Amino acid sequence: MTEILVAGAGAAGMMAAITAARAGASVSLLEPNEKVGRKLYITGKGRCNVTNSCTTQAFMEQVTRNGKFLYSALQRFGPSETMAFFQQLGVPLKVERGNRVFPVSDKAADVVDALFKELRRSGVSLQQDRLTEIRKTEDGLLGITERHPQGTNCKAMILATGGLSYPLTGSTGDGYRLAQSMGHRVTELRGSLVPLESDDPCCAKLQGLSLRNVVLRVKNSGGKVVFQEQGELLFTHFGISGPLTLSASAHMDFSKDSYTAHIDCKPALDEPKLDDRLLRDFAEKANLDCGNALRGLMPASMVPVAAERCGIQTDGKVRDIRREQRHALLRFLKDFSFSLDRPRPVEEAVVTAGGVAVKEVNPGTMMSKLVPGFFLCGELLDLDAYTGGFNLQIAWTTGHAAGEGACRYVRSLAEA
C-alpha cells in the first residue's frame, strides 16, 4: 500500500506529488505517457509561461470563473511562491511583457526536467500506468489501473488527470468520468482560450495575415461589448486565432448567444484625425491606382477586402474616390466587422472550461466534500483564467494545496 496515490503527472499532479513527498508521505505517481509533463512542453509556445508575477488581487481579476474558490490556496502558494520553488530547483526565471514569467533559457524542457529530478529526489515512485477505476474500501481507496487490475490500495488519492484540451498530450478527459463515479457533478465542458470560426468569406481571403496593435471588440447579439483589448490576432482559413482571439473566447458562450468581431485597425487615430490623413493621402496620390494607394493604409492582402466592402475599384484612380467611399473606408479601418460563428473543437483549446463543481471540493485542501481522502486539482476543476501564465498557476496552486491536504489527511488517520 502507498499512502498517497496521484493520478496524472502534469503540472498539478507533479506539484501535488512533490509537496506530499516533501512532507514525508509515501507517494506513487501514475502517468500513462513515457514522459512526465507532456503538456508543459507546448505551453508558452514551447517556452513555458510558468506563472504571472502579479499580486493576488490582480491574479483574481484574471480568473474567469469561481475565483473565490481559489483565493485561500492562492494566498498560501501563489506566483511568488511558484517562482521561488522553481528557482530553488535550479531554473532561473525572467519576467517579460504583461508580467509573464519564463525560464531564462526559454526552454519548457528545463521546467519539466527540474520537476522530474525533484520527483526522484523526493522519493516519489513514478509508474507508467493509467488509472481506470476508483473503489472505496474499508481502509481507504483502491486505484484500478491498466497494468494492475487488482488495484493499488492507498489512504488518499489525488486526481490530476487534466482536461479535454490537447488530447495528444494525454489529456483524454478520463478524470471527469472518474470524478463522476465518486459522485461528483461535472459542469458543462467546452474549450476556453480557443481559436474562433467565422463563416464570413473575408477571413479565408485574409488567411495568414497577422494584425498587430489593433483593438478587438466582441459584441453579443444585443450589441453589448463582452470583450475589448489591444494586441495581435491572426486570420486563418477557418476564422481567427492569436492572443486576442484566445482571450476573447473566454468571454463567449456560443450555446447562449451569438457574436460579432469588430477590429479597429488604427486605434491611435480617432475618426476625425484618420479622415484628415485619408484626405491628405488621397490628395498626394490622386493619380495612383487605388489598389496601390491603399497599401499605404493597410497590409496588401487586406486591400481587396477593403475595396470590395467600400465599393472602390482597385484599378481606378484615387482622384475618382467619392466622399461616401472615403467615409466607408474610414469606417472599415475603425470598425472592420465580421461574424464569429463557433469556437474550434475543445481539443484545440488551451484549457477546458467547466469541470468538477467546486462547491463539492474543500477550497483549502482540495479534498472532496463527498468522499474523504479523495482530492482533485488542476484542469479537472471548474476553474479557468485568461492567457498569461494564470492557468498554469492554477495548476501549481491547486496541486500544492492537494499535496498538503492529502498529507495532513493521512497523518490525521495515523493519529486517530
Q: Does the structure show a pLDDT above 70 at 379? A: yes
Given a cut of 70, is residue 215 above it in pLDDT? yes
Q: What are phi and psi of 224, to 5 degrees?
A: -80, 135
Mean pLDDT, residues 386-393 taken together:
93
First to last CA, the chain: 19
Write the single-letter amino acid at 166. Y
- The neighbouring-strand residues paired with 214 are 231
Q: Is the pLDDT of residue 166 over 70?
A: no
The mean pLDDT value for 70-93 works out to 97
Question: Where is the domain boundary, 294, 314, 343?
Answer: 343
Q: Which residues of 294-318 are buried (b: 16+ CB within 10 A; e: fewer)?
A: beebbeeebbebbbeebebeeeeeb
Same domain, 28 and 147: yes
Q: What pLDDT, on the 0 to 100 scale, is given for residue 35? A: 92
Cell of 309: 466592402
Q: Quote the pLDDT of residue 167.
A: 67
153 and 133 share one domain? yes
Mean pLDDT value across the chain: 94
Total number of domains constituting the chain: 2
Alpha helices, DSSP H, located in 271-314: 271-284, 290-294, 303-310
Q: Are 33 and 164 part of one and the same domain?
A: yes
Whole-number pLDDT of residue 197: 97
Percentage of the chain beyond pLDDT 70 is 99
**Torsion angle defined by CA atoms of residues 41, 47, 51 and 52, in that order, rounded to the nearest 10 degrees:** -150
151 pLDDT above the threshold of 80: yes
Q: How many CB atoms lie within 10 A of CB 137?
A: 10
Residues 61 and 201 occupy one common structural domain: no
- Domain ranges, residue 153: 2-191+349-415
Mean pLDDT, residues 97-109 taken together: 95
Q: What are the pLDDT digits (tens) for 282-307?
A: 999 999 999 999 999 999 999 999 99
For residues 59 and 152, membership in a common domain is answered with yes
Residue 50: DSSP 8-state: -
pLDDT value of residue 81? 98
- Of 293, 312, 343, which one is at a domain's C-terminal end? 343
| Close Cβ partners of 26 (under 8 Å, ≥ 6 residues apart) | 2, 3, 4, 123, 125
Burial 341-378 (b: 16+ CB within 10 A, else e): bbbbebeebbbbbbbbebebbbbebbbbeebebbbbbb
pLDDT tens for residues 37-55? 998 998 888 899 999 999 9
pLDDT of residue 181: 97
pLDDT at 202: 95
- One-letter amino acid for residue 231 of the chain: G
Question: What is the per-residue pLDDT across 235-257, written as a single tens digit (0 to 9) for each?
Answer: 999 999 998 999 899 889 898 99
Judgement on whether residues 162 and 186 belong to the same structural domain of the protein: yes
Q: Which of 291, 326, 343 is the C-terminal boundary of a domain?
A: 343
- What is the SS3 assignment for 155? strand
3-class DSSP assignment, residue 88: helix
Q: Are residues 159 and 207 in the same domain?
A: no
Is it the case that residue 174 has pLDDT exceeding 70? yes
Q: Put the strands of the sheet holding 51-52 in their side by side order.
A: 51-52, 100-103, 93-95
CB atoms under 10 Å from CB of 207, counted, come to 13
Given this model, what pLDDT does residue 171 score? Answer: 67
